[in-house]
């Protein structure tokens, strides 16, 4: 048995070419599954493996002599590539400038996003770390303004059939189960959305996803680490920013399409393959606004252990 994901339930198969192995031990150091050990100056598969090879690929990535190969769990030696030279990676200053200039953008010019740009965003997001390889993040790509708007309109219709979810009687019943903070959030944040989203849509104003020319939904599977879709969405967002696009994360849709029959039907209509604990929409487009100032932000707390 190996750690299961929606994509694979097998272990990675470790193949060692003893003739090429110089016994440096680098692969042994980076294998946190303890799948590898050195014996008589050569690496071999150990009997102390914790989960079975998870196919993280670290051993292949570090080996100086291509002496180790991993096959299975969606990985193979063909997935390895030469690293770009160090001077081509961005500096802290460049990265910080990108982070600091980003603002949530919800106003877009009338221009669709070129398929090559969408590919670039997705390719960059694929590099995101994941709880456990292979990534169990799924993407729904809505790649035109018309499709994005149609999705929002359908979501509004769906919300109108779900009003009981934010009714006083339901929230009162749920309060002992989900607690005071959730109750406050539902009453003060979620409930107004049920009114504002469809209400504005009827006036022709789309505040669900702002008629963006591109929306991508990042979501998991029943196996996914809940953080994974969010980590991937963040990578996509910054990649898009580096390509000159404006972006905005949208957190309100995902939790409202998880539970119940109507939610399942809605997901099925859009080929959303799973319900999942966490998920996030990101919208992208060429910005119609230009922010002139950055905004200093703070964390709720930063505590260092003595
Ligand atoms: C997880 C998450 C969910 C968000 N959901 C929404 C949303 O549903 N609709 C929206 O207009 N903005 C949404 N935003 C954008 C925030 O409102 C925005 O990040 C915040 O106001 C700060 O502005 P800034 O991104 O320009 O710094 C979301 C942002 C995050 C990180
Ligand atoms: S792929 Fe990862 S888990 Fe498997 S042997 Fe290599 S380092 Fe260990
Ligand atoms: S990193 Fe490569 S050369 Fe070094 S011990 Fe492992 S397999 Fe052998």
pLDDT in tens, 43-102: 999 999 999 999 999 999 999 999 999 999 999 999 999 999 988 999 999 999 999 999
196: pLDDT strictly greater than 70: yes
Spacing, Cα 68 to ligand 3 middle (Å): 7
264: pLDDT strictly greater than 80: yes
Q: 279 pairs with which residues across the strands? A: 219
169: pLDDT strictly greater than 70: yes
Q: Which atom of ligand 1 is nearest to the CA of 105?
A: 26
189: pLDDT strictly greater than 90: no
224: pLDDT strictly greater than 90: yes
Q: Which atom of ligand 2 is nearest to the CA of 54?
A: 3
User: Which residues, other chains included, contact 239 with Cβ-Cβ below 8 Å and sequence gap of 6+?
Assistant: 120, 121, 124, 125
Give the span between the Cα atoms of 282 and 234, in whole angstroms: 9
Give the span between the Cα atoms of 213 and 273, in whole angstroms: 23
- Residue 1's pLDDT is what? 67
Residue closest by Cα to atom 25 of ligand 1: 104
Spacing, Cα 22 to ligand 3 middle (Å): 6
Judge contact between 197 and 208, C-beta under 8 A. Answer: yes
Whether the bond between 230 and the residue before it is cis, its omega within 30 degrees of 0, is: no
Spacing, Cα 215 to ligand 1 middle (Å): 14
Mean pLDDT on 200-219: 98
The secondary structure of 78-117 as a DSSP string is GG--PPPPGGGSPPHHHHHHHHHH--B---B-S-PPPHHH
Spacing, Cα 98 to ligand 3 middle (Å): 38
Give the span between the Cα atoms of 233 and 119, in whole angstroms: 14
Give the span between the Cα atoms of 251 and 234, in whole angstroms: 12
Whether the CB of 124 sits within 6 Å of ligand 2: no
Residue closest by Cα to atom 6 of ligand 2: 59
Local confidence band at 178 (pLDDT 50, 70, 90 cut-offs): confident
118: pLDDT strictly greater than 80: yes
Spacing, Cα 32 to ligand 2 middle (Å): 7
pLDDT in tens, 3-13: 999 999 999 99
Mean pLDDT on 295-305: 98
Among the bound ligands, the one closest to the CA of 200: 1
* Comparison of pLDDT for 2 and 301, the residue scoring more: 301
Spacing, Cα 55 to ligand 3 middle (Å): 16
> What is the residue-averaged pLDDT of the chain?
96
Structure tokens of 215?
């929306």
Among the bound ligands, the one closest to the CA of 45: 2
Whether the CB of 253 sits within 6 Å of ligand 2: no
- For ligand 1, which residues put their CB under 6 angstroms from it? 103-104, 106, 248-252, 280
Lowest mean pLDDT of 18-22, 76-80, 185-189, name the range.
185-189
Mean pLDDT on 35-49: 96
Among the bound ligands, the one closest to the CA of 70: 2
Which one, of 206, 199, 293, 210, lies nearest residue 246 by Cα? 210
Judge contact between 73 and 12, C-beta under 8 A. Answer: yes
User: Which residues, other chains included, contact 283 with Cβ-Cβ below 8 Å and sequence gap of 6+?
Assistant: 106, 148, 209, 210, 212, 214, 215, 247, 248, 250
Judge contact between 208 and 131, C-beta under 8 A. Answer: no
- For ligand 3, which residues put their CB under 6 angstroms from it? 21-27, 43, 62-65, 67-68
Q: Which of 232, 250, 280 to mutate to test the pocket of ligand 1 (most atoms within 8 A of CB)?
A: 250
Whether the CB of 133 sits within 6 Å of ligand 2: no
Local confidence band at 164 (pLDDT 50, 70, 90 cut-offs): confident
Three-class SS state of 181: helix
């Amino acid at each position: 048995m190996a750690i299961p994901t929606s994509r694979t339930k097998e272990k990675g198969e470790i193949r060692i070419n003893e003739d090429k192995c110089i016994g440096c031990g680098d692969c042994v150091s980076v294998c946190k599954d303890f799948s590898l050990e050195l014996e008589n100056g050569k690496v071999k598969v150990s009997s102390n493996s914790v989960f079975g090879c998870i196919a993280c690929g670290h051993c292949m990535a570090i080996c100086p002599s291509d002496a180790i190969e991993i096959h299975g769990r969606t990985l193979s030696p063909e997935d390895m590539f030469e690293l770009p030279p160090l001077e081509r990676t961005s500096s802290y200053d460049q990265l910080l400038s990108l982070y600091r200039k980003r603002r949530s953008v919800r106003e877009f010019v009338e221009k669709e996003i070129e398929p090559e740009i969408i590919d670039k965003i997705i390719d960059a997001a694929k590099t995101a770390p994941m709880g456990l390889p292979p990534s169990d993040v799924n993407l729904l790509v809505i790649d035109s303004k018309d499709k994005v708007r149609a999705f929002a309109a359908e979501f509004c219709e769906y919300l109108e059939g779900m009003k009981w979810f934010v009714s006083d009687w339901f929230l009162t019943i749920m309060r002992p189960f989900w607690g005071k903070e959730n109750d406050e959030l539902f009453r003060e944040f979620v409930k107004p959305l049920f009114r504002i989203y469809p209400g504005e849509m009827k006036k022709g104003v789309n505040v669900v996803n702002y008629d963006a020319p591109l929306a991508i939904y990042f979501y998991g599977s029943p196996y996914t680490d809940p953080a994974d879709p969010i980590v991937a969405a963040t990578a996509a967002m910054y990649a898009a920013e580096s390509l000159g696009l404006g972006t905005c994360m949208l957190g309100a849709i995902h939790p409202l399409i998880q539970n119940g029959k109507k939610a399942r039907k809605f997901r099925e209509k859009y080929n959303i393959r799973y319900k999942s604990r966490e998920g996030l929409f990101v919208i992208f487009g060429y910005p119609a606004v230009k922010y002139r100032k950055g905004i200093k932000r703070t964390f709720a707390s930063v505590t260092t252990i003595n």
